[in-house]
Chain A
Amino acid sequence: MSTAENQMDSKTASAAEIRKRKIADVVNAGLKRRYAAERRFRFYGVAAIAISMIMLVVLFTTILGNGLTAFVQTRVTMDVVASAERIDPQGTRKREDLVAGDYQGAVRDAVLAMFPEVTARKDRKDLMELFSNGAGYELQRKVLENPDLIGKTVRVEVPVASEFDMLSKGYISRDVPEAERKISDKQIGWFDTLKSKGMISMGFNTTLMSSGDSRQPELAGLWGAIVGSFYTLVVTLTLSFPIGVAAAIYLEEFAPKNKWTDIIEVNINNLAAVPSIVFGLLGLAVFLQFFGLPRSAPVVGGLVLMLMNLPIIIIASRAALKSVPPSIREAALGLGASKLQMIFHHVLPLAMPGMLTGTIIGMAHALGETAPLLMIGMVAFIVDIPHTPLDPSTVLPVQIYLWADSPERAFVERTSAAIIVLLGFLILMNAAAVLLRKKFERRW
């Protein structure tokens, strides 16, 4: 044997040997590294989830901490004489005269009667600041309901002015020097007197859930915004769901695959990425300027949000249609179903959960949308509750924006309360999406 041959021999022998002997060792040597990589990756995942959970907890505790107190309200219960001189000086007992009565004056008489020692003009004015205008409105409501009350003593329970609500909730400290707080020591003294007489109580803040907006925090409520949001979403849903689903079905099932459909597809994807305020400008130019639709109206808001929602719904619906297994389509076609029958009998029912989920997520998106609605005037200060989608109105997120902008201390907690309500609706909608998915989901 030559040396060269020898070398060759030992080489092949060692290669074979290595292969035989080492596979287990080689795998073993690498195992540690593989498992380490896996552990590392798991740690990153856990860390990411932990961070996002902490952020969520921080968000919720801040909002709940700030906002929960807004759901209770400090009230004062007092007896007011509904004197005929104040309310119905002519004595006609007619509704139009009763509406014009001086109810605020009647309340003022009652308050001054409670504090006979207050005589100075300035002090009397300060004293009246304890009571919100709501007292007069409440008395008016009661008298209009039952004109027989005139001349009698009426018990009204009304919110106190928001500063004193803040005082009783502890947001305004008594330790702060008088000059640095909005309410004077004297006023605090009067408030304490009322309290010691047992006229002050805390109760559920019905105003918050039943009234429209107001400049006075104690009279401000979310109902107008909730109704506005509802009308807006109804308009959005009734337009964007059928249009979006029909467009998705056509594009996915019927449209020929050519450069026109490619262009349309690219543009739908682009539209989904357009900043929402641009849709607001479009709405302003098209719906308000060109079509002359009313400003601040939910119908216009709904149209704008529909434009914003359409690409989202179309994309989700197309994905849902695509995910229906081809075997089901073949089964239907093989039996002699027409294309439309195949789609409506088999494909659409299977795609429905995906479509509904996409739509509800789009609607949740629309519920939280603010920017485009600012452009079409839904940011106006509107006290009345809208009765139709054509009435001026605002929506929940815009209401949050408006309240967050207000200087009164009491609006801080109301802003958070509005956020809680908005989040509540969002959670409800997402839960509905999950439930619908569960209900319509079928296995194959």
Chain B
Amino acid sequence: MPEAMESQVTAGTPLLSDASAVKIAARDVNVFYGDKHAIKGVNLDIKQNEVTAFIGPSGCGKSTFLRSINRMNDTIDICRVTGTIALDSGNVYDRSIDVVQLRARVGMVFQKPNPFPKSIYENVAYGPRIHGLCRHKDELDEVVMGSLERAGLLNEVKDRLDQPGTGLSGGQQQRLCIARAIAVNPEVILMDEPCSALDPIATAKIEELIDELRENFTIVIVTHSMQQAARVSQRTAFFHLGTLIECSDTEQVFTNPIHKLTQGYITGRFG
């Protein structure tokens, strides 16, 4: 596949001019599942303290690309990644980077809320505990309460922290997962369609939360809803068949897309 291996030309401004604002820099990233070429030569900068949305039709590789940022693809035996993804300045695929440390810096929220079958408190406390972030019980309590507060869940659960996290509603579970992710105080939070299993009210709450979290975290979100991308993100990247077709400021992508495919997708002609 010689032509596929070449770097693709992406419309818009996938690379930022201000290098100091770049949190994640992906250069010539290819991902293979066995023989399948899932991501083809992606070059993309993700800006600090912004929300970057990945949109595109199903199977376009946006989740695959998201999961290669914190190396969740490592768990799949046949998956292979080439190119570099630099977090600040270190390539996450470098031998010197430990995957445990990487995932402490890059947290993740999944499509389906997946709290541990433990108490609400234990769910949030798990990350700080395994990384040894807190010396004392008081300190841990503070981190747990703070994370629940920041996830907008504290008022709803403060009387039942010892109840199982799986007993919460879907939207609450997803906010619990967000609280669990921010308890480790990561630099980046990856969200893989965090609202696809939620009703509109729960979705609205999560979107509000994402907007607040932007202050302290760099957020990358994969979404199927273009309205959601338009509402929460500052920059939007459009993927199609493993290729990054276009990436610009969100407003630009939705009001004045450059590429034909982007146009077709956001106007609902395919996808």
Contacts and interface: CB of A to CB of B under 8 A. Distances in A.
Interface of A: 256-257, 325, 327-338, 341, 345-346, 350, 442-444
Interface of B: 70, 72, 75, 77, 100-104, 107-108, 110, 112, 114-117, 126-127, 130-131, 164, 166, 177, 180-181, 184
B166 A444 contact: yes
17 contacts: A328-B117, A330-B72, A330-B75, A331-B110, A331-B180, A332-B126, A334-B108, A335-B181, A336-B100, A336-B127, A336-B130, A337-B126, A338-B130, A442-B164, A443-B117, A444-B115, A444-B166
Contact of B72 (A333, A338, A442): A333
Contacts of B101: 336
B116 A328 contact: yes
A345 B114 contact: no
B218 to A, nearest CB: 16
A442 B116 CA distance: 10
Contacts, number: 70
B127 A335 contact: yes
Q: Which of B100, B114, B127, B166 has the most CB of A within 10 A?
A: B114
A335 B103 contact: yes
A255 to B, nearest CB: 11
Contact of A257 (B72, B77, B184): B77
Contact of B117 (A335, A338, A444): A444
Query: What's the dominant secondary structure at chain A's contact region?
Result: helix
Contact of B114 (A330, A337, A338): A330
Contact of B110 (A327, A345, A346, A444): A327
Contact of B126 (A325, A333, A345, A443): A345
Q: Which of B100, B101, B107 has the most CB of A within 10 A?
A: B100
Given A331-B177, A341-B130, A443-B117, 15 more contacts: A325-B114, A330-B110, A331-B114, A331-B115, A331-B180, A333-B75, A333-B103, A334-B110, A336-B131, A336-B184, A337-B126, A338-B130, A345-B126, A442-B164, A444-B115
Contact of A335 (B75, B112, B130): B130
A311 to B, nearest CB: 25
A100 B166 CA distance: 73
Nearest to A350: B117
Contacts of B102: 336
Nearest to A256: B77
A336 B131 CA distance: 8
